[in-house]
Structure 1
């Protein structure tokens, strides 16, 4: 039963006649909890009784736990999370660069939405990074609430407003996807081995990790479905549900040093484990590539290694952005000058390009979502399914885009013979 007791004030080491009241109540573990500072015995006793009532209802949170520092609880929270490797890296970067410098020593109970939103408006990073950082804080505070450190999460369900303009340059509609002619020009400039990377991404929509993690055994896997009294078949790229994505990220050693990791892991989400239908022209090019390649992974370096993203940039940047001529020098071959084709083109934009192609040629939504590895929204995602006729329409349309681009460029094939 909660009760109140006097707490006399002390001045210069001597107890005075002035006093306040302290609430005393029994905690779930049988120990006595206290909270001082009440002006009257009635208020102290009522507060203690409220704590005991909350315990009986299973809703009580220990007020002392809310004083734990945000940084201390964050380390506890991270220790029990099991996300994908790159997600772990991103969380550490958000915490170390943005969140902990401001909030590490703040008690959990002292964090308010007013202060968090005001802090977010001062960040000079990209808008998406700001929103990711606040979202991560909200998840951590949800963990604190679930662990009964705080009674409620003040960040839950709140939306950031008044953020400053994004410092990154916004791409125009024309810069956000590549025409088929641009894709073919960049691919030819890269050559058959490397150019097949860009060509495949633009005409299948694979993510970078799915592309470079694709094993040759999962390349040109036949899809067979009953259709129109016969069998529909087409070659596909199979994204394995267990090892269908090559992840590249950094971990921390016991000494706190960054350590680079590349490892095959499951795809980003359940929808990403899929079979992507390949148009006829690309199937022929892939078949020839596999016949000439001795390596296990279809899209690898010329020495059969997994790509580092930074290494790939050394090839795609001059191919898309252009370069100056370089004369022959010791240890370096001559390089001809290249005019820009599409400055800023990335593999991510090529994935955007493929979905743009799908929209342009009228691919049915349920099939377009499936091929991109996205979840079809709403109840229709349960009731609607791609049919062989839909698949054939998509493949015919992509084949026509490729052939029309060849005609527009005056080429007979993407690679020079």
Structure 2
């Protein structure tokens, strides 16, 4: 039975005649629970009866736990929900840069959707980043429900208001919509030379992500896919994105308490199950990879010449930017050799654009959805993901199409070799089978 107690106010260390009421009830462990601050005895008793009814129904939430500050609970939640290192770093960045300045010292029970939606609209960042911050907050609040700190998550399932009528905080990144024509890919590959250029080719014609290509070990290159087909077997070479160490992750390390521990560059599992996959390799690329591995002395196919992993920023600065954007010629000076100048090929092109390029080629070729999603490492939406699967005919058609894109581009450039001055035969590409030039709509459609 709930009851109420008077709580006299104190002034200068002495009780006064003024008082409020404290609700009292018996908690599940048999100890008395309490909550102060009621103006009347009736209100205090009613609150206590409500707590006892919730206890009897098995849905009681301790009011003291509801008052825990969001920041304190978020830090415990981060410890209890370990993720891939890069994901942990991104979460801590969101918390420290956007969430904690507003919500760290707010009680869990005081967080409302109205206030969160108003806050995210005013964040000085891109809308997508604000969405990630809200999503992370919602996950933490769901954790508070699971930990019996809250009865419901006020953020769950809510659609945030998007900014309207104002200029975006940053201009839209045009490289989000880029893809590279095959002639550009080949020109980039030639300019960068056999080892680095092959990385560019492999990205554009297989869809490897940056981390997947940087982590590619020679043991996972040119394996063989073998499927029963027409009373015999369909076979083709593949690149395997290893489910255990298939991605090179680069991020700012954090310990369990969120303290920075320095740069981390290490192999990790792909970020989701779909990214661990076997990618069918077109014939021209399979031959180039085979010849590359004959002379490449290192275990990792696209590492630095000294055999260590590339940092993405270093690779981009040293190779992709000057090759795509062009560079000035330099004369010989003491301590530095001369270098030739380069005209721009496709300013702004990135390795991510080259991954987009592969999926664009697939779409151009009409690759069936079940195979296109599979090869790109994407999760296909809808029930068709369960009922439709790639067949050998689909695979053969895709490989023929990618081979055709390569051969037409070589013909358009009037090349017979990508690296005509390669110092070793092992770095030379295969000769063209059927050079073609697209000259009109009818041929393009064919």
Same fold (TM over 0.5): yes
CA distance in 1, matches of 2:297, 2:86: 30
CA–CA distance in structure 1, aligned partners of residues 131 and 149 of structure 2: 24
Residue pair 2:88, 2:254 contacting (<8 A) in 1 also: no
CA distance change for structure 1 residues 166 and 83 in 2, over 3 Å: closer, same or farther?
Answer: farther
Please state whether the residue corresponding to 1:64 is helix, strand or coil: helix
SS at match of 1:236: strand
Query: Residue 275 in 1 paired to residue 278 in 2?
Result: yes
Is 1:290 matched with 2:279? no
Q: Distance in 2 between matches of 1:212 and 1:190?
A: 16
1:92 aligns with 2:92: yes
Residue number among 381, 388, 397 corresponding to 2:392 in the alignment:
388
Shifted more, 205-214 versus 29-38: the winner is 29-38
How far did residue 256 of structure 1 move? 4.0
Do residues 5 (structure 1) and 9 (structure 2) align? no
CA apart distance, 1:346: 1.1
RMSD over aligned Cα, in angstroms?
2.0
Q: 1:371 aligns with which of 375, 383, 387?
A: 375
The Cα offsets for residues 40-75 of structure 1, whole Å up to 9 and x where unpaired, read as: 323221211111111222211111112212111111
1:399 CA displacement:
0.6
Distance 1:147 1:270, change over 3 A: same
Measure the CA separation in 1 of the matches of 2:313 and 2:175: 26
Question: When the two structures are superposed, what TM-score results if normalisation uses the length of structure 2?
Answer: 0.89
**Structure 1 residues 19 and 218, CA, compared in 2 at 3 Å: closer, same or farther?**
same
Report the equivalent of 2:182.
180
Offset of residue 118 of structure 1: 2.0
Normalised by the size of structure 1, how large is the TM-score?
Answer: 0.95
Unaligned ranges ≥5, structure 2:
422-446
Residue 173 of structure 1 and its aligned partner are, at CA, apart by 8.8
Alpha-carbon distance change, 165 to 231 in structure 1, aligned in 2, over 3 angstroms? farther
Matched residue pairs, number?
417
SS of the residue corresponding to residue 369 of structure 1 reads helix
Q: Which moved more, 1:245-254 or 1:234-243?
A: 245-254
SS at match of 1:159: coil
Distance 1:55 1:223, change over 3 A: same
Q: Distance in 1 between matches of 2:235 and 2:97?
A: 50
Query: Which stretch of structure 1 is more off in the superposition, 227-236 or 161-170?
Result: 161-170
Matches within 5 A, 1:103-252: 103-163=103-163, 165-171=167-173, 175-252=177-254
Partner of 1:271, secondary structure, is: helix
Extract unaligned runs of 5+ from structure 1. none
Aligned residue in 1 for 2:65: 65
Q: How far does residue 259 in structure 1 lie from its aligned partner after superposition?
A: 1.3
Cα distance in 2 for residues equivalent to 1:318 and 1:4: 77
Question: Aligned to 2:60, what secondary structure does the other structure show?
Answer: coil
